[in-house]
Amino acid sequence: MNYSHEAEAWNCTSCGAGLVVTKVFFTYMKGNFEVDLPACPECGLVLVPEDLVRGKMVEAERILEDK
């Protein structure tokens, strides 16, 4: 999924910078994942959109819990 639209919609308040889509790393129950998501290029604050959380992320969590 392409989150460039979300990247354009938000600013990092601490750095004042716009967000750029970059690789963000996740881990859960010994599983590692990387997803292209908007993040602040200065401080690394990330944006995980709700639709990703409620969709693919929940699915991945469930598979790991009951694989």
Partner 1 sequence: MEKDELIAWENKCIQEESPECTSACPLHVDARLFLKETRKGDWDAAYKVLNKTMPFAGILGRICDHPCEERCKRGSIGGPIAIGALERYCVERFTGKKRVQPLPRKNHRIAVVGTGLAGVTAAWDLLKKGFVVTVFESGDRLGGSLWDLPEQILPREVITEEFSVFEALKADVRLGTRIDKALFEQICEEYEAVILDRDSLHGVDLSLKLDNDGLIAIDAATGATERSGVFAGGGTRFRGGFSPVMETLEGRKPALSIERLMQKVGLTFGRENEGPCSTRLYTNIEEIDPLPRVVAADTVKGYTEEEARKEAERCIQCECMECVKKCLFLERYRAYPKKYAREIFNNERILLGAAHQYNVFTNSCSTCGLCETVCPNDFYMGDLCLEARRTMLKQKFMPPSFHEFALQDMAHSNSEHFSLSRHEPGKTESSWLYFPSCQLCSTSPGEVLTSYRFLRNKLSGGVGIMFRCCGAPAMWAGRDDLFIESINDIRNAWEQMGKPCIITACSTCESIFGEHLPEMETVSLWKVLEDTGLPEGGPSIAEAVKSSTVSIADPCITRNVPATRQSVRRIVQSLGITIEELPLSNEKPECCGYGGLMYNANPELARDVIAHRARRVPPPVLTKPFSPPAGWYRTGLMEDTDTVYYHTTVNEHDYVAYCAMCRDNLAAHGKRSAHLIELVFPNVDGADPAARGWISWSDRRANRVRVKGELLRELGEKGEVPMEEHEKIRLDISAEVLRRIDDQRILEDDIRKVIDYAEKNQKRLRHRESGNYLAYYQPENVTYWVEYSPHGEGFKIHNAYCHRMKIVGTKR
CA–CA dist 56, 67 (Å, integer) = 15
Taking CB under 8 A as the rule, which mask of x and - marks residues 3-42 in contact with partner 1? Answer: -----xxxxxxx----x--xxxxxxxx--xxx----xx--
**In whole angstroms, how close is the CB of 5 to partner 1 at the nearest point?**
12
CB-CB contact of 12 with 40 (8 Å):
yes
**In whole angstroms, how close is the CB of 65 to partner 1 at the nearest point?**
4
* 2, 3, 5, 54: residue in contact with partner 1 (rule CB under 8 A): 54
SS3 call for 44:
coil
CA–CA dist 24, 8 (Å, integer) = 17
* 1, 2, 3, 66: residue in contact with partner 1 (rule CB under 8 A): 66
